[in-house]
């Protein structure tokens, strides 16, 4: 075997790898977002009971296909520090639950698993979120403690198998 044969073989191997790699590698980096994001800026003076109406009017602008679908809201709870605005306001979360239900969602759940304060129930209680979720009769799921369920993926963008 000559150096020329080895060089030719190496070039052929590199060319083959370069042309087939895009088809074999995971497509998790594919950007599937629309070219323009749709955004609504809504005005409200405070987190009052009228928030659900304002949010509903804004959500209707997007013509969301929610009929019969399940919605999971993750409000990004961090911790409860009195006077610090570090969590999504509980009234806004409850208003979103109401809106998704009015728009035809089959079910709406709220779930969170804060990494900073591991006692999720304490954070949900102290922030007032538990009271608001009771008002709109929606279940809360603690993502730090809930059971894991294997679910078949609908797309093969990674090497995960369940």
Element of type H or E holding 157: none
Predicted confidence (pLDDT) per residue in 54-101, tens digit = 999 999 999 999 999 999 999 999 888 888 889 999 999 999 999 999
Judge contact between 73 and 93, C-beta under 8 A.
yes
CA distance 149 to 153: 12
pTM of the predicted structure, to 2 decimals: 0.73
Average pLDDT of the residues of the chain = 86
The pLDDT of residue 13 is above 60: yes
Q: What pLDDT, on the 0 to 100 scale, is given for residue 37? A: 84
- Could you give the 3-state DSSP secondary structure of residue 71? strand
- Distance between the two ends of the chain, CA-based, in angstroms? 47
Identify the band that residue 154 occupies on the pLDDT scale cut at 50, 70 and 90: confident
For 74-110, give the secondary structure using H, E and C.
Answer: CCCCCCCCCCCCCCCCHHHHHHHHHHHHHCCCCEEEE
Residue with tokens 């679908």: 69
Identify the band that residue 21 occupies on the pLDDT scale cut at 50, 70 and 90: low
């Amino acid at each position: 075997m000559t150096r020329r044969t080895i060089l030719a073989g190496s070039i052929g191997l590199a060319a083959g790898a370069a042309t087939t790699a895009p088809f074999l590698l995971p497509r998790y980096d594919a950007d599937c977002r629309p070219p323009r994001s749709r955004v609504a800026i809504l005005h409200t003076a405070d987190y009052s009971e009228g928030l659900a109406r304002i949010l509903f009017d804004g959500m209707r602008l997007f013509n969301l296909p929610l009929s019969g679908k399940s919605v999971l809201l993750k409000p990004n709870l961090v911790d409860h520090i009195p006077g610090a605005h570090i969590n999504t306001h509980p009234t806004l979360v409850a208003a979103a639950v109401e809106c998704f239900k009015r728009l035809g969602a089959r079910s709406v759940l709220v779930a969170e698993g804060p990494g900073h304060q591991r006692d999720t129930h304490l954070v949900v209680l102290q922030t007032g979120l538990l009271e608001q979720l009771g008002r709109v009769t929606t279940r809360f799921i603690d993502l730090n403690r809930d059971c894991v369920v294997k679910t078949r993926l609908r797309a093969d963008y990674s090497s995960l198998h369940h």
